[in-house]
Chain A
Amino acid sequence: MAVTEKDRKANSALGSLQALTAAALILPGLVPAQAAEDNEFSFQYGRYEESRRDLGGVKSQFDPITVDSLHTSARVRLTDRIKFAFNYIQDTWSGATPISTAPSTREGNQPYDVGTVAGASPWLYSGNGNGKVYFDDQRRPVRTIRRDNGLGFGFDELIAAGLDNRNVHTMSIASPEVRKEGNFNLTYEWDDATVSAGGGLSLENDYESRFANLGFTIDFNQKTTTLSGGLSYANSSTSARLDHDAQTYISKNAYNGQLPEFQPRYAKVISNPIPGTDDSEEILRGKREDWAVNMGLTQVVTKSSLAKFGASYTRSTGYMGNPYKAVTAFFLRPVTAGLMSRDCDTQGTVAGPGLGAADCGEGIAYEGQAKAFLEQRPEVRNQWSFNTGWVQYIDPLDAALHFDYRFYHDDWGINAHTFEADWVQPLGSGWSMTPRVRYYSQSEADFYVPFLVADVSNENGADRLGSDNSKLPTQTFSSDHRLSGYGALSGGVTVSKQFTKGVRFDAGFEYYTHQGSLKIGGGGEPDYADFDYWVANGSVSVEFSAIGRSLTDHDHHHHHDMTEHEPLMPAGLMCVGGHMLNQEGDFMVGYVYQYLRETGNMLNRTSKASDAAMVNNGYRTIPTFHDMHMHMIDLMYAPTDWFNIMVMPMFMDMDMDLRVLDGINGDVTTDHLHGGHQTGGIGDTLMFGMFKLFKHRGHHINLGLGISAPTGDVGIKLNRQHQEDAGFIHYQMQLGSGTWDFLPSLTYLGQYDRFSWGAQANATVRMQNRNDSGYRLGNMFQASAWGGYSIFNWLSGSVRGVYTVEGSIQGEFNPVPGAAGCTDPITNGAILCSNVNPTSSTLDDPRNYGGRFWDVGFGLNVVVPGGEFSGNHLSVEWLQPVHEDVNGFQLERKGTLFATWSYMF
Chain B
Amino acid sequence: MIVRSMNSSIKHKPWPLLMLGLSLLQGCAAVQPWERGVLAKPQMALERTPLQSELRGHSYGSREAAGAGSSASGGGCGCY
Contact = CB atoms under 8 A, between A and B. Distances in A.
B34 A25 contact: yes
A424 B47 CA distance: 12
If over half of B's interface residues share one DSSP class (helix, strand or loop), that class is named, otherwise mixed; here it is loop
Contact of B37 (A25, A385, A494): A25
A408 B65 CA distance: 10
Contacts of A831: none
Given A224-B29, A512-B59, A291 B72 contact: yes
A35 B45 contact: yes
A310 interface: yes
A200 B77 contact: no
Contacts of B33: 18, 21-22, 25, 222-223
Interface string B14-50: 0000000011111111011111111111111111111
Contacts of A181: 74, 76
B46 A31 contact: yes
Nearest to B63: A482
Given A292-B72, A482-B64, A537-B55, A220 B34 contact: no
B31 A224 contact: yes
Contact of B59 (A71, A213, A221, A535): A535
B43 A17 contact: no
Contacts of A310: 70
A29 B48 contact: yes
Contacts of A14: 32
Interface string A192-235: 00000000111010110111010000001111110100101110
Contacts of B24: 1
A179 interface: yes
Contacts of B38: 303-304, 393, 395
A511 B75 CA distance: 22
Q: How large is the interface on B (under 10, 10 to 19, 20 to 34, 35 or more residues)?
A: 35 or more
Contacts of B55: 44, 46, 69, 71, 535, 537
Most buried by A among B47, B48, B54: B48
Chain A interface main SS type: strand
Contact of A44 (B34, B52, B72): B52
A323 B79 contact: yes
A210 B74 contact: yes
Contacts of B76: 91, 179, 181, 202, 204, 207, 209
Given A202-B76, A300-B29, A482 B52 contact: no
Contacts of B59: 48, 512, 533, 535
A310 B80 CA distance: 30
A510 interface: yes
B1 interface: no
Contacts of A240: 79
Nearest to A507: B52
Contacts of B28: 299, 301
Contacts of A234: 72-74
A303 B39 contact: yes
25 contacts: A1-B27, A32-B50, A35-B47, A65-B80, A95-B80, A206-B77, A209-B75, A211-B73, A213-B73, A222-B29, A222-B32, A224-B25, A294-B71, A299-B28, A306-B39, A384-B69, A395-B38, A408-B66, A432-B42, A434-B48, A442-B66, A445-B65, A506-B49, A537-B52, A539-B51
Given A211-B74, A291-B72, A416-B66, 19 more contacts: A27-B39, A29-B48, A89-B54, A93-B80, A97-B80, A200-B73, A209-B73, A223-B33, A224-B31, A232-B72, A294-B71, A301-B28, A302-B31, A304-B38, A310-B70, A314-B69, A424-B43, A482-B63, A539-B52
Interface of A: 1-3, 14, 17-18, 21-22, 25-32, 35-36, 42, 44, 46, 48, 65, 67, 69, 71, 73, 89, 91, 93, 95, 97, 174, 179, 181, 183, 200-202, 204, 206-207, 209-211, 213, 220-225, 227, 230, 232-234, 236, 238, 240, 290-292, 294, 298-304, 306, 308, 310, 312, 314, 316, 322-324, 383-385, 389, 391, 393, 395, 398-400, 402, 406, 408, 410, 412, 414, 416, 418, 424-426, 432, 434, 440, 442, 445, 482-483, 488, 494, 496, 498, 506, 508, 510, 512, 514, 533, 535, 537, 539
